[in-house]
Amino acid sequence: HSFKSRSVESTVGEQLSVTLPMVVYDAFMALGKLSEDNNIDIKRAGITGWSLGGGVALFTAWSPIQEAISPNFKFAAHLPFYPPCMVIPDELRFTNAPVHILAGEIDDWVPAAACEELVEAANISGYDIGITVYPDASHSFDRSMDVVLDNDAYSFTDCRMKLSNDGVVSLLNGFPLSSPSLQKIGLAFCADKGAHWGGNKYAREHSMNFAKEFMSKFLFN
């Protein structure tokens, strides 16, 4: 477990103890370990995740990082739930595995608009990444609880970043986010504190059904 193994319970409000690159690495290491089991068809291993984990499910499909970390193995399908899409790679090159993003229209934690921008850019570059944006749905729309405000959570609505091929994330103005201290400074430029999360009945039911159909289609057929 990427959090427990690092003695971390949550990254809400700080985003530094467990980062997206850390968990992307963990995911590929887990995939490599699974490949050692003869009972597992590693060519049918898909990945899904929620929020930070959604970012992992998304960026494990980015070819430069897959080729660098896991050249022998890649995931067969990617289904990110409300991922952080604010980071646009300089090189829009993805594996040939299907990718579909599920996002909430009014998510003020990680905005759906950023995911739509990423999908549009990827599609223009020739990659058929899909997206479903659920109307009136917030972050964690698949929960059964009412929507609440978390004052400690970062809202990335106004954040846009870029990702170089060597893995360096920076703001669009070129400010690098290459260390914990620089990340804190960088977030002060674009992120606000306070974001909502909670369930949406339609989005919860549809997304669960979609997940079953998506994985069945691309892993079992």
Average pLDDT for consecutive 10-residue bins of the chain (221 residues)?
48 54 88 96 97 94 94 98 94 96 98 97 94 98 97 92 86 86 86 96 98 97 75
Q: Which CATH number goes with the domain that contains 134?
A: 3.40.50
Instruction: Check residue 8 and give its pLDDT.
Output: 43
pTM of the model: 0.90
Point out which residues pair with 94 in neighbouring strands: 62
69 belongs to a structural domain = yes
pLDDT of 166: 79
Calpha distance 140→137 (Å, rounded): 8
The total number of structural domains that make up the chain: 1
Q: For position 179, what pLDDT does the model report?
A: 80
Residue 19's pLDDT is what? 66
**pLDDT in the model for residue 9:** 52
Q: DSSP E strands: which ranges in the chain?
A: 46-50, 77-81, 87-89, 100-104, 130-134, 148-155, 161-163, 169-171, 192-197
What the block records as the tokens of 55 is 């970012």
**Domain hosting residue 215, numbered range:** 18-220
At residue 102, the 3 state secondary structure works out as strand
